[in-house]
Amino acid sequence: MQTFTYIFLTFLFASTLVQLYLSLRQKQHVSTHRSAVPAPFADKVTLEEHQKAADYTLAKGAFGRIEVLIGLVILLVWTLGGGLDWLDAQWRSVGWSGLYTGAAVVVSMLVISSLIDIPSALYRSFVLEERFGFNKMTPVTFATDLLKTTALSLLIGVPLVMLILWLMESAGAYWWLYAWAALTAFSLLMTWAYPKFIAPLFNKFNPLEEGEVADRLNALLARTGFNSKGVFVMDGSRRSAHGNAYFTGFGKNKRIVFFDTLLKHLTPAQVEAVLAHELGHFKRKHIVKGMLLSMSMTLAGFAAVAWLMQQEWFYTSLGVTHASTYMALLLFVLVSPAFTFFIGPLMAWWSRKHEFEADAFAAEQSSSAELITALVGLYRENASTLTPDPWYSAFYDSHPPAAIRIAHLQQQP
């Protein structure tokens, strides 16, 4: 084996072992604290609800460890096992041009990967989520969603892949700048188009009905100076009992969306507090910062591919015998997670910092007490564990642990 092969395997197995170790720490910590509700929540969450959340977390963790090992095997099959090399050889034997061959290899690899993921998706929805009462999806809905997603991915993804590959082959030494600009423009376009053209293909979005909730939210939007295309209620209950709220869209095409499951469990004052938190992300420029970070990482990724595609060892070290632009791109996408895994805690810390800032904004514009009550309700209804392992949480959780977040809110004026 070549030097880079050893480097890749070192990072791959190290990241896998860390994932398994953290998952087992989470299992131990949650199991240890399963028998009693944490003191800050003793009067808000019953022991039965706390134990359901613990069992749900343990079940997801057990399946997650299996998925980690399956993902390891699949990645090794694609790379050192010769899977990508075999797929490339089959398409090159057809005799198409490099552009069409590359697009065929990329698309077929993604289709195969999606097919491999179907059993896991079925298990998550119809076994794991069903067991804890969260799944509301029917097999027909699952199949319909899969077909729609596949059709959309092909309709939108194939032209994008061909554009990127064409730029890699034809735009000269600085193709990576043009590719980055094209992908950035595409991402912005999709962000703008998603609420109006894509999301309605999967869910129904109805304007929030007039009443106390609408009055409170409109007053909040007015005093914070937030302009959007409206507040909408999504029929999330068609697929899951989990509740959520989010912003979507870009520029003047922004929307605020509440799951119908969320509105069923919160009072008007609590809904206002949740919206104030989401507005905090917008007002504190978290969305813009996130987009800029994503753009920067994408630019760095394309620059790395531009260099790696010129290195023969990059292909041969990863089980590929025929060097090509499209194979360099695929290999980079496949193996880069093993090398970037260890920046996870930094990204999680950055996200949690934003959550604290959004909570502080919500306390200023609404009520910290109402947001606390709303959050506890969400923890309870979504069966979110109140006792995550600190190391696991620091590595993975984009939101602060429940106890820390509530304590932070209680300190707000």
Buried b (16+ CB within 10 A) or exposed e, 253-266: bbbbbbbbbbbeeb
CA distance 283 to 174: 36
| Neighbouring-strand partners of residue 248 | 255
| Neighbouring-strand partners of residue 234 | 205, 259
Structure tokens at 41: 């929540």
Q: Is 272 a catalytic residue?
A: no
CA distance 354 to 334: 29
| CB neighbourhood size of 319 (10 A) | 19
Q: Is 124 exposed, middle or buried (0-12, 13-18, 19+ CB in 10 A)?
A: middle
Exactly one of 85, 129, 359, 381 is catalytic; which is it? 359
Exactly one of 85, 278, 355, 381 is catalytic; which is it? 278
Write the CA distances from 87 to 109, 117, 158, integer angstroms.
8, 19, 18
**Is residue 371 within 8 Å of residue 276, measured between CB atoms?**
yes
CA distance 314 to 326: 13
Q: Is 53 exposed, middle or buried (0-12, 13-18, 19+ CB in 10 A)?
A: buried
Q: Is 212 a catalytic residue?
A: no
Structure tokens at 94: 């057809």
At residue 212, the 3 state secondary structure works out as helix
SS3 annotation, 235-287: CHHHCECCCCEEEECCHHHCEEEEEHHHHHHCCHHHHHHHHHHHHHHHHCCHH
Neighbouring residues of 222: CB distance < 8 A, sequence distance ≥ 6: none
By annotation, the residues acting in catalysis are 278, 359
